[in-house]
Structure 1
Amino acid sequence: MTNTEQGLTHVREDGSAHMVDVTGKDDTSREAVAVGVLRTRPDVVELMYAADLPKGDALPVARIAGIMGAKKTPELIPLCHPLPLGKITVDFERLDDGVRIEAKVRTRGATGVEMEVLTAVSTAALALYDMIKAVDKHAVIGDIRVLAKSGGKSGSWTVEEER
């Protein structure tokens, strides 16, 4: 059985990795949503939302970092295609013990934006950690995952999020 028959589209017959050829695919509208959580102490959450951290106002910095991360995905993930990203949003939900990060990325292209939306969430979480590490070196980043995807040959799907 060949690699293609096994569904290994990023592996050539000799076993080496390569970038998939998407030139024959139609451009379609595509969207993905991902989430992640930064867990920290309640007093640090208060400092974040009061914009009173030693490094400054964390949430706007993290939002811009997430947007920039999505844009830079093909530079970070070797086999990702550069895509014309049409919309990137990064939003935050205050939790008692942290911050829930949600990103949404949209494009019109030949391949999906799951990696871009995951990179947006991850980069935003890393920026938040950087902004709070002076007051909580033990914060934890986790639960990063894609919640929804639409467009393309494989269609749309949504995961119910556990709260």
Structure 2
Amino acid sequence: MPDEDESDAEGDDLTHVDEAGNVQMVDVGEKPDSQRRAVARGTVRLTESTVEAVRDDEIGKGDVLATARIGAIQAVKHTWETIPMCHQIPITNVETEFDVGEAEVTLSVAVETTGKTGCEMEALEGVTTGLNVVWDMVKAAEKDDDGQYPDTRIDDVRVVSKEKRTPE
């Protein structure tokens, strides 16, 4: 049975489509449990003055990074509710790490599980939601005179590592 996150080597079979072309969830019931870990990372670009205010805890809405950390963890735990073909998996650990640069905040989210399917989508959901929370917390500082965000963007969101260890 192919891994939910692996494509068929021949390219003949789509894992999320039945014979009639209907979208379906992959049956992972027969797969053995394995320890899995995925790490995703992304960056929100901000003005230098906004990053300085984040660093100095001077954003009016409160502690930006603490709030973003909570949002990232919450998103990890609810990924199965927002991505249609994701299985609900037991999250055994979530680690968040912020790197605050001169004009950006980079967030890395590591997710661990022991189960039948991977956790890279959970890591990606944690990163994107965490970065969205940062943006939400700082948007008053980022708006220009026209109410736009010319210097603000989220980019470089990616899975940086994925591991799978089958118990012996």
Tell me if both proteins adopt one fold, taking TM over 0.5 as the criterion: yes
Question: CA offset at residue 7 of structure 1?
Answer: 4.0
Question: CA offset at residue 17 of structure 1?
Answer: 0.7
Quote the RMSD (CA, aligned, Å).
1.5
**Distance of 2:13 and 2:116 partners within structure 1:** 18
Which residue of structure 1 aligns with residue 14 of structure 2? 8
Say if 2:94 is the partner of 1:88. yes
Which residue of structure 1 aligns with residue 163 of structure 2? 150
Question: CA offset at residue 107 of structure 1?
Answer: 0.3
Say if 2:112 is the partner of 1:106. yes
Q: Deviations over 1:66-124 (max 9, x none)?
A: 00000000000011000000000111001111101100000000000010000000010
TM-score when normalising by structure 2: 0.86
Which residue of structure 1 aligns with residue 129 of structure 2? 123
Which residue of structure 1 aligns with residue 5 of structure 2? none
Structure 1 runs of 4+ with >3 Å offset: none
TM-score when normalising by structure 1: 0.89
Q: Deviations over 1:19-60 (max 9, x none)?
A: 000000000000000000000011100101111102111000
Question: CA offset at residue 152 of structure 1?
Answer: 6.1
**Distance of 2:13 and 2:21 partners within structure 1:** 13
**Distance of 1:95 and 1:28 partners within structure 2:** 36
**Distance of 2:91 and 2:114 partners within structure 1:** 8
Which residue of structure 2 aligns with residue 36 of structure 1? 42
Which residue of structure 1 aligns with residue 24 of structure 2? 18
Question: CA offset at residue 64 of structure 1?
Answer: 0.4
Question: Number of paired residues?
Answer: 151
Amino acid at match of 2:114: R
Contact 1:63 1:124 in 2 (8 A): yes
Contact 1:125 1:141 in 2 (8 A): yes
Task: Structure 1 unaligned segments of length 5 or more: list them.
Answer: 154-163
Contact 1:112 1:152 in 2 (8 A): no
Contact 1:111 1:152 in 2 (8 A): no
Classify the secondary structure of the residue corresponding to 2:140: coil
Higher-Rg structure is 2
Question: CA offset at residue 142 of structure 1?
Answer: 1.0
Query: After superposition, where does 1:42-53 map in structure 2 within 5 Å?
Result: 42-53=48-59
